[in-house]
Amino acid sequence: MSGRITKAAVIGAGTMGSGIAATIANAGVPVALVDLADFADTAVQRMTKQQPSPLVTKSAARLIETGSLDNGGLELVADADWIVEAIIEDVDVKRDLYRRLEDVRKPASVVTSNTSTIPISELLVGAPETLVPDFAVTHFFNPPRTMRLLELASGAETRPEAVETLARFADVALGKTVVRCKDTPAFIANRLGCFWLSCAIAEAVDRGLTVEEADALLGRPFGIPKTAVFGLMDLIGIGVYVHITASLDRLLPEDDLWHALTHKTELLQRMVDKGLTGRAGGGGFYRLDRSNGSKTLNALDLGSLEYRESSVSLAVPVELRELVEQADRYGECAWAVASKTLAYAAWLVPEVADRVSQVDLAMVLGFGWQHGPFGLVDQLGAGWVASQLAAEGVTVPESLIRAAARGGFYDHSGAEKRELAVDGSLRSVPRPDGVLLLRDVKRRSEPLAANEAGSVWDLGEGVACFEPHTKLNVLDLPSFELIEQTIELVGADFQALILHTEADHFSAGANLKRIHELVVAGAFDEIERFLSAGQRAFELLKRAPFPVVGAPHGLCLGGGCEILLHFFGVPATTETWMGLVEPRVGIVPGWGGCKEMLLRAFARPSAGGPIPPVRQVFELIGAAATSTSADHARELGFLRPDDRVTRNRDRLLADAKAFALELADGYAPPEVVMLRLPGPSGAAALKLDVETCALAGGISEHDRRISAGLTRVITGGDADFVEPVAEHAILVLETAVNLELLATEPTVERIAHMLTTGKPLRN
Ligand code: NAD
């Protein structure tokens, strides 16, 4: 491999192989996908229909060329710089494939295996010598598009430059967080994760706990997703888990603590024999019973293996230390799982990785833990954990003794988070080049301005960052007040502003709760003030004398989408879901969303007369279309063709900052645009579309009213325009139409329903 990956190949088109091929295609890199028979072809067809899809757009599938190994398909990998093997977890079948690969692959290409458990030293037994320097492991997690962890292990003889090229490609192009592992069985996350799961199952079963009790204990207090242990087993699949544990039984050294666990294999095997294999198999430790026309959650009785209705009313302390010190079987179970798992993790360093932060990162990204095992030790108190283990007669791992002496595995006192290294020194937790994290900035500085809705941070080099921090980052009057204050502050002392948050979602839009309260109170003057405050804030951002750059991730809905539409440049992550979903709550975009979409539609070279762009906006907003990726957002027009996609979320802020600085040089805000709108005659044409849809039974009476409102806004209202109008005229219409819609009962019902259920009401 010459340092660049311009073409890749994946062999094995099952769950992982097809997902990996899609992830490579999503990055715009051509990839061959081969399997036996016509499996690769079928897999690609399936992925284009799957929801959620592994592909960021349907057109990304065109970059995947499929082939059959039965029909010379292996030739397709001949010009690939990187070949990923993702076939069944059988060492002999894998070795056989590697031998065949040597006849076709180009010199200096790199071959990696996606094995979950088998170390390179095992995989390469009997391999051609030429393969050895070109071989590594790239262990993706399922599903490969969204799971950010990639474990990268290299063998003793793997070419370092090939590993670096792979790591860079996986990080920048595929958006993965690359965790370097040693070449040991199951690498990091599965090694520790399986130990934790097996240990938890055994401790719970031995104490006669129900699956719900165990999950309540072993989930939240540990900062672990609520699927906890048994729920997670169902997701993994009981049969798959049994297979992985058998592999670990075979591969782990005899003195490994893994072998001291009682694995309850008999229980798991009985479940598999009964067909209770987990979610994909229709039920495992839990099952959703739909037999009575409603959904009831059932849980498995671990003795009889019969289902009963799930119930748990266990009051569990939120504090982990309080839980593990609780003097009953719940506290004992929690301590047994914590002490064994955390001690095992401590033994694994430096065997599986040189740094404790890498082990923590693997568990955070691979298993969704909020803190890794070493973060948990620090939470409990490293000295306390060590003394408890010693008091129980357990040998205390050396790394834990060191941590106990220094007060923990991590040091948070300075500007940078530091970790305890194997040699006893404190070292900065590493950040790859080109990664800028807001949480690091926040650790070492005070906000420039802040209120309950957000904070403003100094990112250096004259760039400031506005960070919203309400629940789901909903926008409200305090947000607008802070935006206005920020604009003054940035205008005086900075060159550019970025809007960014490290929360899961950029913004779910306007504070619906406030709108509901105001509507119920009949405070329509206040609603008007709320609408105009948003319009004013977004307008100020748009016309600021410095560039404002949005850097979103996750949901950007309603007002959260509208704010972004006002900026010239938006680098977004792959997982950016944008939509003007206002009609779902009975209104139309009211903070300039209609206006901005019209401006975009009219600016297209192929816009044609006034009707086609207006119809395009009508269809998009009327359907409340939401993108399922940033690439899709670009297709829908929420992102411009020039807006960039940052694949790796950790790189988003740095990319946004570089982009903002590029724009700042000679920046001039956009000028006010005059629009030639079609007026009532255009509205009549769109009304016909709505009526056709209504005849087909597709919309309700209230949908029709919302459509009429939307039509009025985007066609320019009642006046027959002879002359073009300034874009701001649309804002006035947005407000008028929303005030009318908010005064209707069905809109109030839609808002109330969304607030209570999180789902749209079709009324
Ligand atoms: P899978 O069973 O879904 O797919 C395996 C594919 O390999 C099948 O399409 C099969 O036709 C193909 N295959 C079998 N023998 C072959 C051969 N000789 N030549 C070419 N193709 C062959 O399996 P999967 O879950 O995608 O796992 C693939 C690899 O990824 C395994 O090594 C597994 O341990 C690893 N892995 C799986 C997961 C997971 O969650 N499923 C996660 C990480 C790693």
pLDDT tens-digit map of 565-605: 999 889 999 999 999 999 999 999 999 999 999 999 999 88
Q: How does residue 283 score in pLDDT terms, banded at 50, 70 and 90?
A: very high
Nearest-atom number in ligand 1 for the CA of 115 is 32
Residue with tokens 């393969």: 131
pLDDT surpasses 90 at 689: no
**Residue 199 or 762, more confident:** 199
Q: How does residue 647 score in pLDDT terms, banded at 50, 70 and 90?
A: very high
Interatomic CA distance for residues 763 and 748, integer angstroms: 11
Distance 184 CA to ligand 1 centre (A): 20
Nearest-atom number in ligand 1 for the CA of 117 is 34
Q: Of 71, 10, 64, 83, whose CA–CA distance to 37 is shortest? A: 71
Distance 90 CA to ligand 1 centre (A): 9
Query: Is there an atom of ligand 1 within 6 Å of 603 CB?
Result: no
What domains, with CATH codes, occur in the chain?
8-181 (3.40.50.720), 189-420 (1.10.1040.50), 438-581+627-668 (3.90.226.10), 588-625+671-763 (no CATH)
Helix H or strand E segment including 537: helix 524-543
Q: Report how many helices (DSSP H) and strands (DSSP E) the chain contains, helices first.
A: 29, 25
Query: Is there an atom of ligand 1 within 6 Å of 149 CB?
Result: no
Encode pLDDT of 555-570 as tens digits.
999 999 999 999 988 9
Distance 20 CA to ligand 1 centre (A): 11
pLDDT surpasses 90 at 695: no
Q: Of 149, 153, 140, 141, whose CA–CA distance to 187 is shortest? A: 153
Distance 12 CA to ligand 1 centre (A): 6
Q: How does residue 259 score in pLDDT terms, banded at 50, 70 and 90?
A: very high
Nearest-atom number in ligand 1 for the CA of 190 is 43
Distance 36 CA to ligand 1 centre (A): 11
Nearest-atom number in ligand 1 for the CA of 13 is 9
| Two structure tokens written together for 238 | 């009981």
Average pLDDT over residues 289-314: 89
Query: Is there an atom of ligand 1 within 6 Å of 563 CB?
Result: no
Identify the residue whose C-alpha is closest to ligand 1 atom 4: 14
Q: Whole-model pTM?
A: 0.95
pLDDT number for residue 473? 98
pLDDT number for residue 605? 80
Distance 15 CA to ligand 1 centre (A): 7
pLDDT number for residue 295? 87
Identify the residue whose C-alpha is closest to ligand 1 atom 25: 15
Do 239 and 265 form a contact (C-beta atoms < 8 A)? no
| Two structure tokens written together for 627 | 């993108």
pLDDT surpasses 70 at 722: no
Mutation test of ligand 1: which of 71, 87, 92, 104 has the most ligand atoms closer than 8 Å to its C-beta? 87
Query: Is there an atom of ligand 1 within 6 Å of 16 CB?
Result: yes
Distance 85 CA to ligand 1 centre (A): 8
Mutation test of ligand 1: which of 10, 11, 16 has the most ligand atoms closer than 8 Å to its C-beta? 16
Query: Is there an atom of ligand 1 within 6 Å of 14 CB?
Result: yes
3-state secondary structure of 231: helix
Nearest-atom number in ligand 1 for the CA of 17 is 26
Encode pLDDT of 397-407 as tens digits.
999 999 999 99
pLDDT number for residue 92? 97
Q: What is the 3-state secondary structure (H, E, C) of 462-510?
A: CEEEEEECCHHHCECHHHHHHHHHHHHHHHHHCCEEEEECCCCCCECCE
pLDDT surpasses 60 at 2: no
pLDDT number for residue 721? 60
Query: Is there an atom of ligand 1 within 6 Å of 34 CB?
Result: no
Nearest-atom number in ligand 1 for the CA of 93 is 18
Do 716 and 733 form a contact (C-beta atoms < 8 A)? yes
Degrees to nearest 5, angle at CA 628 with 114 and 4: 45
Nearest-atom number in ligand 1 for the CA of 244 is 34
Query: Is there an atom of ligand 1 within 6 Å of 36 CB?
Result: yes
Distance 449 CA to ligand 1 centre (A): 52
Distance 89 CA to ligand 1 centre (A): 6
DSSP string, 284-335: SSEEEE-TTSS-EEEEE-TTT--EEE--------SSHHHHHT-SSHHHHHHH
Query: Is there an atom of ligand 1 within 6 Å of 115 CB?
Result: yes
Mutation test of ligand 1: which of 10, 15, 66, 190 has the most ligand atoms closer than 8 Å to its C-beta? 15
pLDDT number for residue 447? 98
For CA atoms 331, 333, 335, 337, the dihedral sign is negative
Distance 576 CA to ligand 1 centre (A): 29
Encode pLDDT of 509-553 as tens digits.
999 999 999 999 999 999 999 999 999 999 999 999 999 999 999
Spatial neighbors of 568 by CB under 8 A, at least 6 apart, are: 547, 548, 549, 663, 670
Distance 18 CA to ligand 1 centre (A): 10
Distance 54 CA to ligand 1 centre (A): 16
Distance 75 CA to ligand 1 centre (A): 20
Distance 718 CA to ligand 1 centre (A): 62
| Mean pLDDT for the chain overall | 95
pLDDT number for residue 719? 75
Distance 39 CA to ligand 1 centre (A): 12
Write the Ramachandran bin of 150: left for phi over 0, alpha for psi from -120 to 50, otherwise beta.
beta
Distance 35 CA to ligand 1 centre (A): 10
Nearest-atom number in ligand 1 for the CA of 114 is 30
Distance 339 CA to ligand 1 centre (A): 34
End-to-end Cα, the chain, rounded Å? 59
Q: How does residue 313 score in pLDDT terms, banded at 50, 70 and 90?
A: confident
Query: Is there an atom of ligand 1 within 6 Å of 12 CB?
Result: yes
% of the chain surpassing 70 pLDDT: 99
Query: Is there an atom of ligand 1 within 6 Å of 101 CB?
Result: no
Mutation test of ligand 1: which of 88, 111, 137, 139 has the most ligand atoms closer than 8 Å to its C-beta? 88
Average pLDDT over residues 486-506: 97
Distance 340 CA to ligand 1 centre (A): 32
Query: Is there an atom of ligand 1 within 6 Å of 729 CB?
Result: no
Identify the residue whose C-alpha is closest to ligand 1 atom 18: 93
Identify the residue whose C-alpha is closest to ligand 1 atom 17: 87
Interatomic CA distance for residues 134 and 127, integer angstroms: 11
pLDDT number for residue 291? 83
DSSP string, 648-671: SGGGHHHHHHHHHHHHHTT--PPP
Query: Is there an atom of ligand 1 within 6 Å of 244 CB?
Result: no
Residue 507's beta-bridge partner residues? 556
Query: Is there an atom of ligand 1 within 6 Å of 17 CB?
Result: yes
Encode pLDDT of 228-244 as tens digits.
999 999 999 999 999 99
pLDDT number for residue 3? 77
pLDDT number for residue 1? 52
| Two structure tokens written together for 712 | 């009025």
pLDDT surpasses 70 at 13: yes
Query: Is there an atom of ligand 1 within 6 Å of 84 CB?
Result: no
